[in-house]
Every structure is written in structure tokens, then in C-alpha cells.
Amino acid sequence: MSQRQKPTNARSMLLRDAENEALFQTIGRLCVTLATGVVQLYLADQADRNRWSKRCCGVVCFVKDSSKRSFYIRVYDIKKQQMIWEQELYNQFQYKYPRDYFHTFEGDNCQAGLNFASEDEALKFKTAVLKKLEERQARRLDKKRQTMVQKSRTSNRPANVPKKSAASPRSPPAAELGSNMSINSISSNSGTSKKDKNKKDGGKKKLTKADIGTPSNFRHVSHVGWDPEKGFDMKDLEPDMQMLFQSVGITDDVDKETVDFIYDFVAKHGGIDAVKKDLGSVACKVHLFFFALSVSNI
């Protein structure tokens, strides 16, 4: 990669070579002049800005000072080989040229004017200063644009998502909640309605179709009073069972299926003592059973 070429000092067309070399030595090794011209320096004091006052004659240089990392307009006395005046290019610096040979700008303490001896040198000086001012302005605008882009990216960036905490039990969906609530409600209402019905009936438990259906794990057992050869004999029954059979109109002439049903019904409804308390209702249900049975056998 080639090294960046160091700028060379711009010479004045009105000075001899020896005078230009003396000027460059006065400027210093860490400085370089980008434009040079022979001028008269005029200043307008703050008290009377409309009146120019001639201060000196010399050589003006547009200097890039590497040691101070800045740019200056400096006026030198080549005979004495010293700088006699300077103005740094600050932010918002404005360089004006009301005449081709006369240029003005606002200094730190007063208005300054350069009256060039050569219009060609004035043009080169103006071009060098304006170019640097444009470069500075372009850098400021680019920096401002980058700042705005960065702010825009920051403002559009989503907020940090908090870290996930320990897993918590998942709540069931609303539909599931509604379903469970409905089931619980139905179960609760069903239990309540059955109790309420039992209370309204004076504590009597009614026989339903489910009650007379075949119970689970059903087994046929031989009951007292049944003889496989002779059949059913009421005399062999217990007194309570005799009373139950008689109350529902059962005589000795009955088949084994009916006898099994009566015994299963008694066992299913709490035994003979519980059935005796509800004899009237039971007798009615048994009669209905016989009626249904007789109809199904037609």
C-alpha cells in the first residue's frame, strides 16, 4: 500500500524562490501552506465596523498546522521571518469575497479583510479555503446523519424480554374451565335434587328402572323356600319374607326367576328391615315389575 503523499507548500507568484523558501522555514516543519498570496491586512474595530483600518503588509498563508490539528489564516513578515497575525477556522466560519481581490471574514476580535496584490492568488486562496469549509460541513452532516440513524435503531429496538422464571402450572383454557365448571355444577345439582326429592317424599327412596335391572357381579343363589324338585314353598320362608311375598300377591305357584328377583331386591335395598318400613311403595313397584314382566312374555 502506497503511503499518503505529504502536501507541498504552495508558492506565491509574486515572491522570488529565496523569499518563498524563507517563508516555508518560518511556517515550520509541522505546518504546510495550501495557498499563498501577497496582501494588505485590514481590520474593522468593533466600535466602527464599517471603517477599515490598514494594519500591515505581508504574505498570507492558508496553513494546515499538524501540531495543533487545525487550519489557520496567517500573515507573515518575510523580512523579519515571523508571524504577525492569525485567525483559526472555527465552526460556522464564513469566508466572503465582495471583490475578486478583496476577501473578508469574521475574526475572533474584529472583522478582517485581505486585499490581494494578485487576483490569481486571491482566486487560489479563496478556492482552498472554501474547499476546506465544504469538507468540514460535509463531515458534520454525515456525523449528524449517523447519529440520527443510531438513535432511530435504538428507539426501534424491542425492549429486553425478562428472563423466564421457574415453570409454573399452566392454567387450563377458558373452554376447559367452562367444561369443568359445568360438570361440577351438574354433579352438584344432581346430588342436591336427589336429596331434595327424598326429603319431599318423606325420606322414602323410590325404585327406578335402574334398581330393577341386573346388578353388576350378579350370581344366582339358592334361597330358603326353594326346592329344585318341588319348587317354591312359602312355609320354609322366614316370617318377614313370608309377609313380603304375601303383600305383593305371591303364592306357592311361582318360578325361580321371580323368587331370585325378590331376594335380590331385598338385599339391594338394605335388607328385610328396611323393606318392611317401605312396604307399601315396594309392593307397588313389585306389582309393576310383574306387570312389565307379564307384558314382555306375551
pLDDT per residue as tens digits for the range 49-97:
778 999 999 999 999 999 999 999 999 999 999 999 999 999 999 999 9
Query: What does the longest C-alpha to C-alpha distance in the chain come to?
Result: 162
The pLDDT assigned to 79 comes to: 94
The pLDDT assigned to 189 comes to: 46
**Does residue 220 carry a pLDDT above 50?**
no
Instruction: Using pLDDT thresholds of 50, 70 and 90, give the confidence band for residue 191.
Output: very low
For the entire predicted model, the pTM comes to 0.51
How many angstroms separate the CA atoms of 246 and 238, rounded?
12
Report the alpha-carbon angle 94-95-96, nearest 5: 115
Mean pLDDT within 260-274:
76
Q: Nine-digit cell at 131?
A: 474547499
Mean pLDDT within 117-122:
97
Mean pLDDT within 191-215:
49
The pLDDT assigned to 204 comes to: 52
**Does residue 190 carry a pLDDT above 60?**
no
Q: What is the DSSP secondary structure assignment for residue 51, as one 8-state letter?
A: S
Mean pLDDT within 105-122:
96
Between 22-36, 208-222, 283-297, the lowest mean confidence (pLDDT) is in 208-222
**Does residue 291 carry a pLDDT above 60?**
no
Instruction: Using pLDDT thresholds of 50, 70 and 90, give the confidence band for residue 288.
Output: very low
Q: What is the helix, strand, coil percentage profile of the chain, to 5?
A: 40, 20, 40
**Does residue 249 carry a pLDDT above 90?**
no
How many angstroms separate the CA atoms of 54 and 286, rounded?
141
The pLDDT assigned to 271 comes to: 76
**Does residue 41 carry a pLDDT above 70?**
yes
The pLDDT assigned to 160 comes to: 61
Range list of β-strands (E), the chain: 31-44, 53-65, 70-77, 82-88, 95-96, 102-106, 111-116, 226-227, 231-232
152-186 pLDDT, tens digit each: 887 776 666 555 554 454 554 444 444 444 434 33
The pLDDT assigned to 148 comes to: 87
Residue 259's CB is within 10 A of a number of other CB atoms, namely 19
The pLDDT assigned to 165 comes to: 52
2: CB partners within 8 A, 6+ apart:
none
Q: Nine-digit cell at 10?
A: 504552495
The pLDDT assigned to 163 comes to: 54
**Does residue 280 carry a pLDDT above 80?**
no
The pLDDT assigned to 154 comes to: 79
The pLDDT assigned to 45 comes to: 78
Instruction: Using pLDDT thresholds of 50, 70 and 90, give the confidence band for residue 126.
Output: very high
